[in-house]
């Protein structure tokens, strides 16, 4: 066994992020942009966390999405910044909820509404294929599941793709009754 030399961190040394590397394009294999939980831990939050704390916490952590887990660590949903908007919280308060009693579980997108791509599918796809799928489905993110082992393996989001490729990427969500109601009442 050998000992390696240690160096001082210099003032010119700086952090790098995946978006600093411009090697990805629409023809890059899709798996290169998956946040793969086999290599990095997922961003998770307990379902019973007060929602009032979440927005600040996610902004502080530079996080856009968190997987929501129950007290046994099981996935119960996913929460993104859009679910934590002031409008969403104010709607709950207008319906009689107290701000400090609104939990992440009240605002999250529940597990049964989450969409997924099979990990095996992504092995033969490009980023362009994933973008087309997200745009066609109106989903701004989806989970990645290994179908044979039933493991939730990762997540991929349109925002991460746009940031990494340095391109604008808009996902038009299919209108829901709530979206239509909100647009009529504003």
> Which residue range forms the structural domain that includes residue 126?
24-170
Residue 74 belongs to a domain: yes
List, for the chain, all residue ranges whose pLDDT scores fall below the cut of 50: 183, 185-186
The CA distance from 7 to 17, in Å, is 22
Structure confidence at residue 22 (pLDDT): 64
In a domain, 52, yes or no: yes
In a domain, 166, yes or no: yes
Residue 1 lies in a domain: no
Query: CB of 79 within 8 A of CB of 106?
Result: no
User: Which pLDDT does position 45 carry in this prediction?
Assistant: 95
Q: What is the pLDDT of residues 74-105, one digit of tens each?
A: 999 999 988 888 888 888 889 999 988 999 99
Q: Does residue 17 form part of some domain? A: no
Burial of 1: CB neighbours in 10 Å, binned 0-12, 13-18, 19+: exposed
- For residue 19, tell me if it sits in a domain: no
| Domain CATH code at residue 118 | 3.10.580.10
Residue 132 counted as domain residue: yes
Would residue 10 count as lying in a domain? no
Query: What is residue 180's predicted lDDT score, i.e. its pLDDT?
Result: 52
Beta strands at 141-146 and 151-157: parallel, antiparallel or unpaired: antiparallel
Look at the chain and report how many structural domains it folds into.
Answer: 1
How confident is the model at residue 186, as a pLDDT? 47
Q: What angle do CA 163, 168, 169 make, to 5 degrees?
A: 90
Q: Determine contact, residues 170/133, Cβ cutoff 8 Å.
A: no
Whole-model pTM?
Answer: 0.81
Kindly list the distances between the CA atom of residue 155 and the CA atoms of 41, 90, 91, in Å, as whole numbers in the listed order. 11, 29, 29
Distance CA 83, CA 89 (A): 9
């Amino acid at each position: 066994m050998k000992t390696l030399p240690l160096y001082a961190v210099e003032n010119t040394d700086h952090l790098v992020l995946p978006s600093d590397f411009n090697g990805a394009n629409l023809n890059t294999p899709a798996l290169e942009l998956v946040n793969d939980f086999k290599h990095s831990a997922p961003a998770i939050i307990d379902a019973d966390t007060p929602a009032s704390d979440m927005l600040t916490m996610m902004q502080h952590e530079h996080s856009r999405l968190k997987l929501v887990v129950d007290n046994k660590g099981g996935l119960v949903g996913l929460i993104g910044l859009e679910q934590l908007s002031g409008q969403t919280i104010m709607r709950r308060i207008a319906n009689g909820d107290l701000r400090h009693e609104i939990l992440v579980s009240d605002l999250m997108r529940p597990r049964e509404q989450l969409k997924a791509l099979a990990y095996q599918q992504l092995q033969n796809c490009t980023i362009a294929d994933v973008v087309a799928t997200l745009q066609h489905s109106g989903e701004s993110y989806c989970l990645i599941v290994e179908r044979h082992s039933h493991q939730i393996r990762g997540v991929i989001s349109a925002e991460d793709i746009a940031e990494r490729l340095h391109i604008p990427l808009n996902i038009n969500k299919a209108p829901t009754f709530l979206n239509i109601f909100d647009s009529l009442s504003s």
